[in-house]
Amino acid sequence: MNKNRFFSLLVIVTLAALAALTISQVAAVDRLVSASSSAVNRCPAPEVNHASVHMVYVESLGRWMPYMDQGPTGVDGGLIQVLSDRRTCSQ
């Protein structure tokens, strides 16, 4: 009977620990969703002129790379990010 009580106590403690971890993860996800939804409301940088994208041969790399008027598109997100950015605010 003593082993049975020990096992029951072990199961109860384990379930309490799992419940505490689950609650903390739910709270963390809620904070993350709140932060990201408030960030969406901010107006991003001015829209990029997609016509300014052109190919330039970089001799040091020995390949063609996409560039814009502001510089190479491989920096900070790449060409796909540049082409998919859209303004989400009405200004």
pLDDT tens digit string along 35-68?
A: 766 655 555 555 666 677 788 888 887 888 887 7
* Domain encompassing residue 79: 50-84
Please state the pTM of the whole predicted model: 0.40
Tell whether 37 and 56 lie within a shared domain: no
How does DSSP classify residue 89? S
Is the pLDDT score of 32 beyond 70?
A: yes
Average model confidence (pLDDT) for the chain? 76
Closest CA to 83 of 65, 61, 68, 71: 68
The total number of structural domains that make up the chain:
2
Tell whether 57 and 36 lie within a shared domain: no
